[in-house]
Amino acid sequence: MGEILLKVKDLNKAFGKVVTARDLNFEIEAGVLTSIIGPNGAGKSTLINVLTGLLPLDSGHILFKGEDITGLPTYQRVRRGLCRSFQVVNVFPELSVFENVEIPVLAQMKKAGHIFRPVVKEKAVAQQVMEILERTNLAGEAAVIASALSHGDQRLLEVGIALAAKPSLLFLDEPTAGMNPVERVDILKHIRRISASGETTFVIVEHDMDIVFSLSDRVMVLNRGDIICDGGPDHVKGDKQVRECYLGEEVVA
Amino acid sequence: MSTKATYAIYLGIIAGLAALGLLGDRFMVYMGMRVMLLAIFALGYNLLLGRTGLLSFGHGALYACGSYSMALVNLHLTQDPLLGILAGVAMAALFSLIVGFFCVRNTEIYFAMLTLAFGMMIFSLIWNLREITGGDDGLVGISRGSVFGLPIVKDGQFYFLVLFFFGLTLWLVHRIRSSAFGLVLAGIRENHQRTSFAGIPVKRYRLAAFVVSGMFAGLAGSLGAMLQYNTDPFSAHWSHSAEPVLVSLIGGLQTFSGPLAGSVVFVVLREIIERYTQNWMLWFGIILLAIIMGLRGGVMGGLEKRLRQRAATRKGGE
Amino acid sequence: MLESIVHVCLAGLSQGMFIWLVASGLTLIFGVLGVLNFAHGAFYMLGAYFCYTVLAALGDNFWLGLIFGPLFVCAVGFLVERYFLRYVYHLDLPYQLLLTFAFVLIFDDLVKIVWGAGSISSPTVPGLGGSVSIMGRMFPTYSLFIIAVGPLVALGLWAALERTWAGRIIRAASSDREMAAALGAKVPWIFTGVFVFGVWLGALGGGLAVPYVGLLTPGMGESIVIEAFVVAVIGGLGSLKGAFFGALIIGLLSSFGTRFLPSFDMFLTFILMALVLLWRPQGFFGEASR
């Protein structure tokens, strides 16, 4: 058993009459690669948005490493080690790949506020940035403007920016969305490798079943704001309710 | 361009301006000062607009904070110009902190409108508090005194004080732009949501950018009051905030040298047009149209692009 | 005391309706095109000058001036949208603002060249030039006329947008450009049309201003466009209903301010604007997420 990183207590969130989270209670354990799946409109994206501070919740509590972070602004959560990537490419388009990763590294090393020291003199920062670019296989593209990257590389950069904040818990929101099969296999390889290195615990929010079952230690199935199933991939695969509401023909086929 | 080359170019500019101060006639000297004051204002302003991506209509009021604080200190307390300038910059910083605290909660058009509202509040205070600010006459009778025993009464002497602060601004803004802070500001411009997910308190950085650019406005304002020997209530009007926007746009929003080139073009062009026609606004409007429709990156942006293209083709040819 | 309050209210109402006439076009253009049109004040000024010229040419007939004057301004507006504004819709806010600002500079100087730099005093309107007695004090008839015109314009706009086919298309185009284009609506032409119509509203305001402000000066549009900005912001950018009530609030506030706190009239207006922006950035009637 690893340390409990995230603890969600009685979380509720609704948009008008549409309930996207109903009395959710769950924990995320360090070192366990967890996936959250569910059909469209199940409340997956809303859940990440609430947990990372992009949206306010209606009621409930979020504890991170034992500390109540329910009301904290986004950057405070990031500083405590809770970060995310985005479903659509969400990088700094006109900055270089290096600079894209440099911003979170500067923040993480508490050097973002240096106002007169040239940023090129921050050797420790540059070293860290290159390390992350190597881990995400982008070292060769360091000087390229982000908007000029291929879509697959932009997705990798997306993960790289999130990793640069040195999170202990990282939500990946559909990391393979819009990728071709080759890129998809590639990024999964990277995620598995980084996950195995142990610094960061991943929670993957996905649509694609193959990814979820091949990668995860634990799968949570969300439907209309409720957790309808939670357990190992095999357990979830065999669950009747999950089959009915969501997997259905996909698994049978 | 390497840092050394950049510094060499700016040293060249300073040297050229120093030569102008020594050799130029009264008119040239006066024009030189006007260009430098506008450049100080615009270089600072562009940290907010070009770097952080925030359009402010309140910087005229911050300029006026500098002017009036300088003038009040000069008329009532001490004629030491450096203390006056210090007071001007400090007061502009204080006001930008207060105004900025409220304004940075919003972005885009709502930010612009909020700065307009606060700027116009300051304008109406200056306009109506006659006993303190002189109302529509402004404050008159500012004296320049001397700096460390060197007299700066004549324009030819005052010029070098302006040149000193111009050089200082150039250096400071360059340092800020190449610092970690400057990179984070560019990140906020590109994607403020992602910046907060990088662990950056975005509002606080926006506020810092606002205050820093407000301090340069205050510096320009206090020097401007000394140049004209009086303060102008209309410098607080929102339309005065449009000046650095125009200048940055003419020169190029995203480049460091943009506001510099823009200031020269703005002041010189205005002088030339006014010499030949009565309708300076008409011609300036037309030029502005041409710039927006044609040269979207501004003069320096266009040049930079041209250079980059040439470098790229050269590389491709090898 | 009571009659004084009544008169201050009436003055506020007429001032408010007058600002509404200008703010309506500004708001319509922002709502549909997403452009904050600095030049709106310049169109207002052009409206005033063209109306003046037409009415002077047609034997001092104010009504003919009011009908034909704004049409000339519409032609100018058409050229501005078709050949310039259209190319900056996709650019950042500063570029759009500065493009319209460039037209302010150009039109202000053109007016100086054509009509002279001095101010022109305007004629009175036959039948509306006098004053009527309200509770024992005289009140200008023309101001009462403006108070009546404002709601009429509001009603007409509402009917045009809610009850006609063109209005439905305009609303569709403003809420979702791509969808409207897919439905076959010619979005660029809708934009041109809306811009020209907004310009017409501004020019009409200018025409109506001819007897109201009494003096025509180059640059007369600059203060009113800022007031219209304030009104549009308070009501909620893009919301016509908001602009109408915003104009009433600002008219009354400035009228009471002038009467009781003459030095802080402008201060009050802008502090109200700031408070609204801080408390409810979308304004009183704006949609929550824009």
Q: Which pLDDT score, from 0 to 100, does residue A118 have?
A: 84
Residues of A within 8 A of B7 (CB-CB) are: none
Do B193 and A89 touch, CB atoms closer than 8 A?
no
Mark yes or no for CB contact B179/A78 under 8 Å: no
Chains in contact with C, counting 3 or more C-beta pairs less than 8 Å apart as contact: B
For B153, the 3-state DSSP assignment is coil
Closest by CA to A201, choosing from A6, A2, A32, is: A32
C158 burial (CB, 10 Å; 0-12 / 13-18 / 19+) is middle
In tens, the pLDDT along A226-248 reads: 888 888 878 877 777 777 766 55
Instruction: Select from A55, A75, A173 the residue whose CB has the most chain B CBs within 10 Å, as the one to mutate to test that interface.
Output: A75
**Facing B181 at nearest CB: one of A90, A102, A112:** A112
Per-domain residue ranges of chain B: 3-237
Give the residues of chain C that fall short of pLDDT 50. Answer: 288-290
B52 burial (CB, 10 Å; 0-12 / 13-18 / 19+) is buried
Neighbours of B93 (CB within 10 A): 20
In tens, the pLDDT along B65-105 reads: 999 999 999 888 888 889 999 999 999 999 999 999 999 98
Backbone angles phi, psi at A67, to 5 degrees: -105, 140
**DSSP label of C245:** H
Structure tokens at B292: 């927006």
**Facing B285 at nearest CB: one of C97, C103, C271:** C103
**B184 has a chain A CB within 8 A of its CB:** yes
Q: Determine the average pLDDT of the residues in A183-196.
A: 79
Do C45 and C220 touch, CB atoms closer than 8 A?
yes
> For residue B299, which amino acid is it?
V
Q: How far is CA A150 from the centre of its chain?
A: 21
- Pairing mode, strands A59-64 and C215-216: unpaired
**Facing C112 at nearest CB: one of B114, B117, B279:** B279
**DSSP label of C89:** T
In tens, the pLDDT along A213-223 reads: 877 888 888 88
**Shortest alpha-carbon distance between residue B179 and chain A (Å):** 4
Closest by CA to B133, choosing from B82, B46, B50, B64, is: B64
Q: Which pLDDT score, from 0 to 100, does residue C184 have?
A: 60
Mark yes or no for CB contact C84/B293 under 8 Å: yes
Compute CA distances A111 → A31, A247, B173, B203, B209, whole Å: 29, 47, 19, 17, 16
Chain B, nearest residue to A125 by Cα: B180
Instruction: Select from A92, A100, A123, A147 the residue whose CB has the most chain B CBs within 10 Å, as the one to mutate to test that interface.
Output: A92
**Facing B183 at nearest CB: one of A78, A79, A99:** A99
**Contact map slice: B 142-181 vs A, CB within 8 A:** 172, 175-176, 178-181
Chain C, nearest residue to B129 by Cα: C263
In tens, the pLDDT along A143-180 reads: 889 888 888 888 888 888 988 888 888 888 888 777 77
Which regions of C131-254 does DSSP assign to beta strands (E)? 131-134, 137-140, 215-216
Place of tokens 């309710």: A241
Do B73 and B128 touch, CB atoms closer than 8 A?
no
Q: Which pLDDT score, from 0 to 100, does residue C288 have?
A: 44
Write a three-state SS string for chain A: CCCEEEEEEEEEEEECCEEEEEEEEEEEECCCCEEEECCCCCCHHHHHHHHHCCCCCCEEEEEECCEECCCCCHHHHHHHCEEECCCCCCCCCCCEHHHHHHHHHHHHCCCCCCCCCEHHHCHHHHHHHHHHHHHCCCHHHCCCEHHHCCHHHHHHHHHHHHHHCCCCEEEEECCCCCCCHHHHHHHHHHHHHHHHCCCCEEEEEECCHHHHHHHCCEEEEEECCEEEEEECHHHHHHCHHHHHHHHCHHHHC
Q: Determine the average pLDDT of the residues in A87-98.
A: 88
Chain B, nearest residue to A79 by Cα: B199
Q: Which pLDDT score, from 0 to 100, does residue B316 have?
A: 44
Q: What is the ipTM of this complex?
A: 0.85
Mark yes or no for CB contact B109/C36 under 8 Å: yes
**Shortest alpha-carbon distance between residue A77 and chain B (Å):** 8
Mark yes or no for CB contact B181/A118 under 8 Å: no
- The dihedral through the CA atoms of B284, B287, B291, B293 has a sign that is positive
Residues of C within 8 A of B284 (CB-CB) are: 105
Q: Which pLDDT score, from 0 to 100, does residue A252 have?
A: 41
Alpha-carbon distance of C90 to C96, in angstroms, equals 9
Instruction: Select from B253, B293, B295, B296 the residue whose CB has the most chain C CBs within 10 Å, as the one to mutate to test that interface.
Output: B293
**Shortest alpha-carbon distance between residue B120 and chain C (Å):** 7
Residues of B within 8 A of A84 (CB-CB) are: 197
Chains in contact with B, counting 3 or more C-beta pairs less than 8 Å apart as contact: A, C
Residues of C within 8 A of B241 (CB-CB) are: none
Alpha-carbon distance of B59 to B245, in angstroms, equals 10
The DSSP-derived string for B263-301 is HHHHHHHHHHHHHH-S-HHHHHHHHHHHHHHT-TTHHHH
**Facing A94 at nearest CB: one of B190, B198, B208:** B190
Helix axes B108-128, C221-235, angle to 10 degrees: 130
Write a three-state SS string for B198-234: CCCCHHHHHHHHHHHHHHHHHHHHHHHHHHHCECCHH
pTM score? 0.87
Which of the four CATH numbers 3.90.1150.10, 3.40.50.300, 3.40.50.10190, 3.40.190.10 does domain A4-92+152-252 have?
Answer: 3.40.50.300
Alpha-carbon distance of A161 to A184, in angstroms, equals 19
Residues of C within 8 A of B118 (CB-CB) are: 270, 274
Q: What is the mean pLDDT of chain C?
A: 81
Compute CA distances A238 → A208, A212, A230, A252, whole Å: 17, 14, 12, 11
Mark yes or no for CB contact B181/A108 under 8 Å: no
> For residue B163, which amino acid is it?
L
Mark yes or no for CB contact B201/A75 under 8 Å: yes
**Facing C278 at nearest CB: one of B102, B292, B293:** B102
Compute CA distances B37 → B220, B227, B262, whole Å: 5, 10, 12
Residues of A within 8 A of B193 (CB-CB) are: 54, 90
**Chains A and B touch, using 3 or more CB pairs below 8 Å:** yes
Structure tokens at C13: 């109402």
Chain C, nearest residue to B127 by Cα: C263
Do C237 and C283 touch, CB atoms closer than 8 A?
yes
Farthest-apart Cα atoms in chain C, separation = 61
Residues of C within 8 A of B249 (CB-CB) are: 94-95, 98
The neighbouring-strand residues paired with A205 are A36, A173
Q: Tell me the count of B-C CB pairs closer than 8 A.
A: 109
> For residue B168, which amino acid is it?
L
> What's the order of all strands across the beta sheet hosting A226-231?
A82-84, A169-173, A201-206, A34-37, A218-223, A226-231
Q: In order along chain B (318 residues), what is the average pLDDT of each group of 10 residues? A: 76 89 88 92 92 91 95 89 93 95 86 91 90 85 83 85 94 91 93 90 94 96 92 88 86 80 87 83 85 66 61 48
Chain C, nearest residue to B114 by Cα: C274
Do A139 and A160 touch, CB atoms closer than 8 A?
no
**Chains A and C touch, using 3 or more CB pairs below 8 Å:** no
Per-domain residue ranges of chain A: 4-92+152-252
Mark yes or no for CB contact B282/C91 under 8 Å: no
Is a pLDDT exceeding 80 seen at residue A105?
yes
Closest by CA to B74, choosing from B163, B66, B214, B235, is: B66
Mark yes or no for CB contact A117/B179 under 8 Å: yes
**Contact map slice: B 189-218 vs A, CB within 8 A:** 190-191, 193-202, 205, 208, 212
Is a pLDDT exceeding 60 seen at residue A250?
no
The neighbouring-strand residues paired with B308 are none
Q: Which pLDDT score, from 0 to 100, does residue B317 have?
A: 40
**Facing B198 at nearest CB: one of A103, A114, A122:** A103
Do B134 and B150 touch, CB atoms closer than 8 A?
no
Do B69 and B86 touch, CB atoms closer than 8 A?
no
Chain B, nearest residue to C276 by Cα: B114
Structure tokens at C79: 């050229």
**Shortest alpha-carbon distance between residue C282 and chain B (Å):** 9
Instruction: Select from B200, B210, B212, B216 the residue whose CB has the most chain A CBs within 10 Å, as the one to mutate to test that interface.
Output: B200
Is a pLDDT exceeding 70 seen at residue A188?
yes
**B305 has a chain A CB within 8 A of its CB:** no
Helix axes B258-276, B238-251, angle to 10 degrees: 110
